[in-house]
Structure 1
Amino acid sequence: MKHLSKILFATMLVLGITSVTAQDANNPWSVGIQTNAVDFHPTSDVGGTFDDYFNVGDHWNILPSMSRLTVGRYIGSGFVFELAGSVNQIEQYGAESVPQMAYYAIDGSFNYSLRALLNDGWLDPVVGIGGGYTSIADNGDYPISDLGAATLNGKFGLNFWFTDNVALTLESNYKHVFDVDGATHFQHAGGVKFMFGGTDSDGDGIYDKDDECPETPGLPEFNGCPDSDGDGIEDRMDACPNEAGLAEFDGCPDTDGDGIADPNDDCPEVAGLAELNGCPDADGDGVADNEDDCPNEAGPAENNGCPYEDMDGDGVLDKDDECPEVAGTAANNGCPEPDVEVISELNEYSKTVLFELNKATVTADSEEALQSIADIMNEYSNTIFHIEGHTDSTGSAEYNEKLSRERAASVEKWLEENGVPSNRLTSEGYGEERPIATNNTAAGRQDNRRVEISLDKNKEVKDSESSMEDDNQ
């Protein structure tokens, strides 16, 4: 007993700081190799129950070799069914020496582990109940001679787990023998138990039962699931499992440190703005530099981030300038407008435009003057010209108005046919209403029979007013 106590104390001292795994669903099978001792004294008529329970030297029958084998299978909820076979040699019957007798036993028991009550540490107390069959063979005249009887067994044991699969075992079994007085006894055993049978498909040291990723090697802190990039975020929760990142970005990196995760950052290596998907805007014009044709000059998005030019320097931006290469006026959409001198020149040519007598037909001699007029008009591609027809007071007013209108229209038609767009020409006849000289002299009447050209600046306004009048009708 003295030596057994020392061994037990030393084992507990060495293993006290180790937390390991006992037999459970992950390791359902166990095999035990033990030495057993049989003691009749505490249950005999000589001694009371548990009397001299630890009297190893006087009462224990010990076979100092591998004399007991056990096989266990985990059932569930802390229960294990164990089958044990043992041999021994009986030389002590209580305090009495007897001729040597062969002892054989086979036992089955349902064991329950109390380890969970001790916070799953290295110490694993076990209680059990079961039955078996014991045989003692001898020709002597003792109650235990030629014994072969069933037994009812109760057990208390301790397993000391010092690795995940190996434990030191100590146990004591009370074996009540039916129908044979004096044969009831204790059987003690001590040895080593090996646990096995758990499945670890991915070989990561975590059994499949507890492995949330049983087909992929992983880490204990993630219940067997991997963290491929080592960023402390398991792959299942990591939006970027192959790139180390930050928890705030679900495991994705932010290479440029602009607060936008790389997968959502159109410019992941250059710090930028959230509203531009992580790209910078050096000129602050709202157009990302990677899409800005002028990244250092502010400009509108519709012009690819570049400022609009004014090539002709007339104050009208090229985008609004209908004559971007020729300086003009804002009133004329950036195109030049004819001045008084130009109008005067047009009217000098118009004075030489002649018509057949009392007709609206332009004479052939007038075509050179008309061509000069057309050339001048085409220099002002955004200007609308108005052609006026006038007569003297000879004849009726109705006839004069009709003739002046037809002559103005005749000039308009010639200009249209010779390159001046029709949408830039208007014409009207005013008859004798607008004389520039007296009609009392031949010279005055000649001056009044004329064609004049003016600017029709109000044409768009007139068209607009006309539309409004139509809408109001």
Structure 2
Amino acid sequence: MSTMRPSRSRFTVQLLALTALTMTLCTGTRVQNAAASPYEDGSGLALRSGATLAPPKILDLGSDPVGISRVVGNRDGAERRTDTNTEVTYELQAAVLFAKDSGRLSDSARSRIAAIAREIEQRAATRVRVTGFTDNLGSSVHGDILSTQRADAVRDVLTDDLRSEAVTFETHGFGERRPVASNATEASRRENRRVEISFVCRAPSPSV
């Protein structure tokens, strides 16, 4: 004679009822609807009868105020521009701007910086940060001095081109600190010898 086993759902209801009774005896607290049959949505997850799922939350991925939106560089890597929602940064290799071990700008460098000054004006920027960097050749003291001289030289051209008291400048020379490449090869050291010009935008890009 075969013995019929209770169904799985009946066993579940009995187990929940026993749990509710145990909690009542131990804590004196009555559990409401503890033995209510669960509802399965097909995903393997169960909801108590009468319960509802919370509405899904939609993530706004476009609201990041500082997320990088675009990075553009020329083919030889001598110049790179990074745009975020609030700031533009130009990264110019020192070889484009200066002779070797020099803090004096070339004539071609002045015209390039003048173009950046025009964008600073168009974007209604009032704060500009100019930062110089070197590779790790030579002493760190020499690198600090040279990178500061180069940052100051770029700032001076921007100041002359903008001729605006509304724009304030911040300059730094970090020498060999904060490299973007390993300094293991001449190609990587060339990447580290650079000047960065950053400004906070208060007006949209004229190309938009």
Normalization by structure 1: what TM-score? 0.23
Q: Which has the higher strand share?
A: 1
CA contact 2:182–2:189 (8 Å) conserved in 1: yes
What is the deviation of 1:417?
Answer: 1.0
CA contact 1:387–1:426 (8 Å) conserved in 2: yes
> Does 2:123 correspond to 1:384?
no
What is the deviation of 1:418?
Answer: 1.2
The match for 2:141 among 384, 387, 398 is 398
1:393–1:400 CA distance, 2 compared to 1 (3 A) = same
* Count of residues paired in the alignment: 117
Which amino acid is 2:171 matched to? Answer: S
CA contact 1:378–1:420 (8 Å) conserved in 2: no
The residue number in structure 2 matching 1:437 is 181
Q: Deviations over 1:329-378 (max 9, x none)?
A: xxxxxxxxx9528625x33xx34741122111001121221111101111
Which amino acid is 1:390 matched to? Answer: F
Q: Deviations over 1:300-329 (max 9, x none)?
A: xxxxxxxxxxxxxxxxxxxxxxxxxxxxxx
Instruction: Using the aligned pairs only, state the percent identity.
Output: 30
Q: Deviations over 1:131-157 (max 9, x none)?
A: xxxxxxxxxxxxxxxxxxxxxxxxxxx
Q: Which has the higher helix share?
A: 2
Give the whole-Å Cα distance in 1 for the aligned partners of 2:187 and 2:127.
Answer: 32
> Does 2:133 correspond to 1:358?
no
What is the deviation of 1:438?
Answer: 0.8
Q: Deviations over 1:144-193 (max 9, x none)?
A: xxxxxxxxxxxxxxxxxxxxxxxxxxxxxxxxxxxxxxxxxxxxxxxxxx
CA contact 1:353–1:370 (8 Å) conserved in 2: no
What is the deviation of 1:421?
Answer: 2.9
What is the deviation of 1:404?
Answer: 0.1
Give the whole-Å Cα distance in 1 for the aligned partners of 2:103 and 2:198.
Answer: 20
> Does 2:191 correspond to 1:454?
no
> Residues 8-47 of structure 1 correspond to what in structure 2 (within 5 A)?
none
CA contact 1:388–1:451 (8 Å) conserved in 2: yes
> Does 2:156 correspond to 1:413?
yes
The residue number in structure 1 matching 2:117 is 374
Give the whole-Å Cα distance in 2 for the aligned partners of 1:405 and 1:418.
Answer: 20
Give the whole-Å Cα distance in 2 for the aligned partners of 1:414 and 1:360.
Answer: 13
Give the whole-Å Cα distance in 1 for the aligned partners of 2:125 and 2:191.
Answer: 31
The residue number in structure 2 matching 1:143 is none
CA contact 2:132–2:175 (8 Å) conserved in 1: yes
Give the whole-Å Cα distance in 2 for the aligned partners of 1:390 and 1:383.
Answer: 23
What is the deviation of 1:456?
Answer: 6.8
1:408–1:390 CA distance, 2 compared to 1 (3 A) = same
Give the whole-Å Cα distance in 2 for the aligned partners of 1:365 and 1:434.
Answer: 27
Unaligned runs of 5+ in 2: 1-81, 202-208
Unaligned runs of 5+ in 1: 1-337, 458-473
Give the whole-Å Cα distance in 2 for the aligned partners of 1:433 and 1:393.
Answer: 8
What is the deviation of 1:385?
Answer: 1.2
What is the deviation of 1:382?
Answer: 4.1
Which amino acid is 2:170 matched to? Answer: T
Q: Alpha carbon RMSD of aligned pairs, Å? A: 2.5
What is the deviation of 1:381?
Answer: 2.5
Answer 1 or 2: higher relative contact order, Cα 8 Å, separation at least 6: 2
SS at 2:129 equivalent: strand
Normalization by structure 2: what TM-score? 0.51
The residue number in structure 2 matching 1:10 is none
SS at 1:385 equivalent: strand
Give the whole-Å Cα distance in 2 for the aligned partners of 1:420 and 1:429.
Answer: 23
SS at 2:131 equivalent: strand
Give the whole-Å Cα distance in 2 for the aligned partners of 1:353 and 1:421.
Answer: 26
Q: Deviations over 1:381-434 (max 9, x none)?
A: 243010000000000000100100010000000111112536422211010011
CA contact 2:125–2:199 (8 Å) conserved in 1: no
CA contact 1:374–1:420 (8 Å) conserved in 2: no
Give the whole-Å Cα distance in 2 for the aligned partners of 1:368 and 1:444.
Answer: 26
Give the whole-Å Cα distance in 2 for the aligned partners of 1:400 and 1:424.
Answer: 25
Give the whole-Å Cα distance in 2 for the aligned partners of 1:391 and 1:431.
Answer: 5
Give the whole-Å Cα distance in 1 for the aligned partners of 2:104 and 2:112.
Answer: 15
Give the whole-Å Cα distance in 1 for the aligned partners of 2:152 and 2:100.
Answer: 16
Which amino acid is 1:425 matched to? Answer: F
SS at 2:118 equivalent: helix
Give the whole-Å Cα distance in 1 for the aligned partners of 2:170 and 2:180.
Answer: 21
Give the whole-Å Cα distance in 2 for the aligned partners of 1:445 and 1:438.
Answer: 7
